[in-house]
């Protein structure tokens, strides 16, 4: 994520801020400018301190789940991110409201990345064939609905916003990492396989060369994975044990980690992070001096990111908390991420 500041007083702003804590000016995110814009609290209409244009907030500001801006002249009520919502939970339930707010934080950060990558992003309510939408569902005892993706519909269970429940599932499935942003990145990876690979002969052939043949029976492959587990050498070829279940899951897991690394690298870049450890070996020295979204080669992004990631993990261990990035990226997995990067860039 980029760093943002108040155009009125230069105080740093978080991506989710609705006002500046120092000067009190209102603020919101402009998806067209990829910037936080600020406004005088008493300004009617809301005229930006920076570009002197008029804006309005997304309608979901009233629920505390969105701070994105829409040009004042637009007839749209919802921003680009909120327009992707097909189903939201029953907001008369205060617990639902709290969980939805957490889901929207993760989803808005996802949409920011998709916009930065220049990926196609159309609401399924506008394009039923190729659009994307989100259903946020509260699961009942007699329901078999699960978090997942199908034909452009990403379903996220509200229970995933419960940190205790999420940790229980993570432990039950022996996962190294389970977060809301991780769910969003994984499931949207399935959607972009449909958009960027499926039906494109050249892309399909490249996919099969790198990830395997997706024509392998999906249901049978998953059943086998849950019955027998991952192969003993899965770390040599996959980013997670689940990625070894089927080429589609390998793609979605690798896609999610590709986005993880881009986001961490961008954040480190805007903070100006560099690592110069007091070791004789220079292998952990590195500086993220590049905006990863502008780079043509993923290898360069990875080599700049890796020392910073190791440093962050080491700091976490100093505090007795889990690694921020608890994964080993093999050369085979690195090539898979590079293949995704090339496809996105193309």
Sequence-ordered list of residues with C-beta below 8 angstroms from that of 299, at least 6 positions apart, any chain:
334, 338
Structure-block tokens of residue 226: 């849950």
Structure-block tokens of residue 187: 């499931």
Given CA atoms 262, 110, 229, 246 in this order, what sign does their dihedral have? negative
pTM of the model: 0.93
Q: pLDDT 10s per residue in the chain (346 long)?
A: 999 999 999 999 999 999 999 999 999 999 999 999 999 988 788 999 888 899 999 999 999 999 999 999 999 999 999 999 999 998 888 889 999 999 999 999 999 999 999 999 999 999 999 999 999 998 765 577 889 999 999 999 998 888 777 777 776 766 767 789 999 999 999 999 999 999 999 999 999 999 999 999 999 999 999 999 999 999 999 999 999 999 999 999 999 999 999 999 999 999 999 999 998 888 888 889 889 999 999 999 999 999 999 999 999 999 999 999 999 999 999 999 999 999 999 8
Given the structure tokens 């155009």, which residue do they identify?
Answer: 7
3-state secondary structure of 68: strand
The answer to whether residues 250 and 240 touch, using CB atoms and an 8 Å cutoff, is no
Edge-to-edge strand ranges of the sheet holding 85-87:
85-87, 133-137, 153-157, 148-150
d(CA 316, CA 305): 17
Where would I find the beta strands (DSSP E) of 166-289?
A: 274-275, 286-287
């Amino acid at each position: 994520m980029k760093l943002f500041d108040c155009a009125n007083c230069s105080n740093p702003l978080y991506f989710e801020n609705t006002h500046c804590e120092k000067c009190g000016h209102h603020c919101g995110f402009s998806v067209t400018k990829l910037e936080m814009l600020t406004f005088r609290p008493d300004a009617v209409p809301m005229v930006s301190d920076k570009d002197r244009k008029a804006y309005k907030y997304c309608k979901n500001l009233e629920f505390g789940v969105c701070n994105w801006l829409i040009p004042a002249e637009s007839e749209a009520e919802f921003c680009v991110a909120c327009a992707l919502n097909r189903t939201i939970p029953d907001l008369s339930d205060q617990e639902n409201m709290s969980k939805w707010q957490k889901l929207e934080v993760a989803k808005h950060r996802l949409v920011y990345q998709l916009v930065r990558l220049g990926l196609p992003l159309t609401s399924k309510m506008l394009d039923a064939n190729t659009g994307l939408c989100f259903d946020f569902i509260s699961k009942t005892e007699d329901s078999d609905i699960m978090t997942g993706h199908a034909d452009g519909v990403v379903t996220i269970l509200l229970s995933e916003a419960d940190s205790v429940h999420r940790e229980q599932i993570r432990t039950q499935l022996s996962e190294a990492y389970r977060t809301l942003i991780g769910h969003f990145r994984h499931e949207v990876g399935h959607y972009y396989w449909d958009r960027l690979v499926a039906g494109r002969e050249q892309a399909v052939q490249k996919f099969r060369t790198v990830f395997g043949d997706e024509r392998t029976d999906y249901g049978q492959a998953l059943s086998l994975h849950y019955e027998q587990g991952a192969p003993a050498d899965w770390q040599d070829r996959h980013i997670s044990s689940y990625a070894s279940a089927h080429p589609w899951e390998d793609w979605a897991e690798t896609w999610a980690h590709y986005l993880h690394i881009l986001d961490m690298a961008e954040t480190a870049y805007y903070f100006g992070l560099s690592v110069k450890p007091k070791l004789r070996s220079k292998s952990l020295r590195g500086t993220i001096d590049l905006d990863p979204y502008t780079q043509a080669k993923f290898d360069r992004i990875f080599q700049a990111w890796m020392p910073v990631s190791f440093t962050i993990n080491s700091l976490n261990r100093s505090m007795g908390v889990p690694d921020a990035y608890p994964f080993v990226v093999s050369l085979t997995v690195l090539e898979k991420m590079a293949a995704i990067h090339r496809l996105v860039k193309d």
